[in-house]
Structure 1
């Protein structure tokens, strides 16, 4: 990836871009009035652009930019704050003080909701293998302002790691988290983004396997949770009890460990 700044950026943004280039091991390039499309053509790479209001990614093979915004999570959170039940929280049986490992973080929509549920006494860790999504999630969770203090604090509490989930699980001690979670498909709201689809092709090929599920069962104390299309054969393939939801294209599955 190449990192640069928005056009005519002040020195403060240049400093921020250079700092991020060091943190993420990216190559920093002066913008110099050159268009983003020209930079993509010149370097044949995805471009991370540091702007005044937000950071975004211009994928090499797509004209649509990709940026962090917890759209769906904010809608779900508003319902939770009103006392409504969230399907993931009820399926995972998450309560305050519990720990949650999200093995397919993406742009962290589910992790934000679980962070709200477990509260400041709990913990949420997210793992993302795609370097572009990892950068967006890590920076977005640490800086995005929703205008809701509880929501923002939930975002800030999430720990984000760049790794494939099998490697991380293998390096994690047994019974380290109450719940281990997999959402191997992108959310439908994200799927509609052509920018996301272009990055999807570069995603780390971390398909669920029996070895992955076995490691997840070792790491989890209470249960392993899978979110997948209602027609998916992975529920039966890996021994999940499928919790059917008549009005949803996505179902949750659980493997109870106690």
Structure 2
């Protein structure tokens, strides 16, 4: 059972980790054992190809999880390990999986993150090849396109294959996406949603949650949600200026305490973008219209 809008986990796990699930010809997935209020049931690892493979987002560097990926590969050649972004639930498994399979690591650029935010990122990620926006690579007997979608992180990539888009954390199937400054940027996130609206893929495979069979509807909903949150924060700051903590408390009443830090970060991301647009000011930590 999946819950949306960042409400946390509830109900039984519907996908046991480490079990290969076919999704169609030349595509399968398995779940990493990292459930949390921020990852849902865990991170999905996608295997693209039949006789030859590309592995997308290997997930955490958990030995049992990596053994499950190797078992799912079943001795088939792995031509590349693709990475959407360098959060710790996505990229740390790339290096040990590369060592086990001999496959190069391709995908997003590495990041140097200052301060407290560094804890959420993988500092050891070192790709063999950084893929540019719109770059198409021949892998696993097919062609896969890298699509730069900054916002959730500045280095985030999606990957397009046939009519499918592997949307990483930019578009998730169970929850809205957290945007945490300074690396995360709300203006970039919303622009990237609009970028995906202009594309033709009809099925999204997120790194968290179930496949999205009507992605255009979900993209419209995500943009509407963000616009409504932006308007709410403008209204609250106009009615009574306050700190990020105060505005977040008024914007997200009765929020699960585990999700308060993420809500504050996302509210701050909205406020920073509004400040860049000249619609709010921040004076000594107090946000006002």
- Flag whether TM exceeds 0.5 (same fold): no
Which one has a larger percent helix, Structure 1 or Structure 2?
1
Greater relative contact order, per chain length (Cα 8 Å cut-off, separation 6+): 1
TM-score, normalised via structure 1 length: 0.32
